[in-house]
Structure 1
Amino acid sequence: MSVGAVAAVSATLPVAGLDAARPAEATGGAQFAGVLGSVEQLQQLQSTSQELGVRAVTGDLDDVHDYTIAAQQSSLALELTAAVRNKAVEAFTEIMRMQV
């Protein structure tokens, strides 16, 4: 996967909660909305990839590269989302461990 494709996926999936200039309490709702927006964008990438896959199989797609790029973007976005989710779960688990 090229660096440009990684940058394109990173731009479409903003990681909420990385703004150190503002306190977490002031941006909590905005961060959650950003995460939901990222999940919606992931779903959009997956549906686009699936649609292009169907078009490629049926012969309606002129350039198969479009499907390949869309499938890679979808895959990379899913991996990024899973990694962020895993880190959030780890952080939550660590916080719960501190409270005991």
Structure 2
Amino acid sequence: MSSMGIEALSFPQLPSTPTVGATDTTLGADRPQGPDGPSGDFGDLLVKSLDSVESMGDKASDLSVQAATGDLNAIHDYTIAATEAQVATQLTVAVRNKAVEAFTEIMRMSV
């Protein structure tokens, strides 16, 4: 059984130099290009990461039900999934706390 680990939350590597066409004047044309085309923005990455955390929690929840009903043969699968979900949730909360802290600090700045 394959399990989705914390590496699912890692940020993709961007190329060191952006690839921009000489005649391309569209908005966002100066964005770095990834192997699958233009790299997504931060919002897309955030949504994907939150979906990943949610799917980890759903997987752990499903396995806990299987363990409670006796349908799960390998209890370590549930333990691993629950731990992954817990660590991913803790990471998400830490990132959220840092974002709120940064926003609060920006709001304190005098203009």
State the TM-score, normalized to the length of structure 1. 0.76
Task: After superposition, give the CA deviation of every residue in 1:41-71 in whole Å (9 maximum; x if it has no partner).
Answer: 0000000000000000101011000000000
Match of 2:8 in 1: 12
| Deviating 4+ runs (over 6 angstroms) | none
Alpha-carbon distance in 1 for matches of 2:95, 2:110: 23
Change (3 A) 1:36 1:99: farther
Q: Which amino acid aligns with 2:95?
A: V
Alpha-carbon distance in 2 for matches of 1:97, 1:65: 48
- Work out whether 1:77 is the aligned partner of 2:73: no
Residue number among 10, 33, 37 corresponding to 2:48 in the alignment: 37
State the TM-score, normalized to the length of structure 2. 0.69
Match of 1:96 in 2: 107
Match of 1:4 in 2: none
Count, aligned residues: 86
Larger Rg: 2
Change (3 A) 1:15 1:96: farther
Q: Give identity over the alignment, percent.
A: 44
RMSD: 2.3
Q: Which runs of no fewer than 5 residues in structure 2 stay unpaired?
A: 18-30, 33-39
Q: CA deviation at 1:12?
A: 1.0
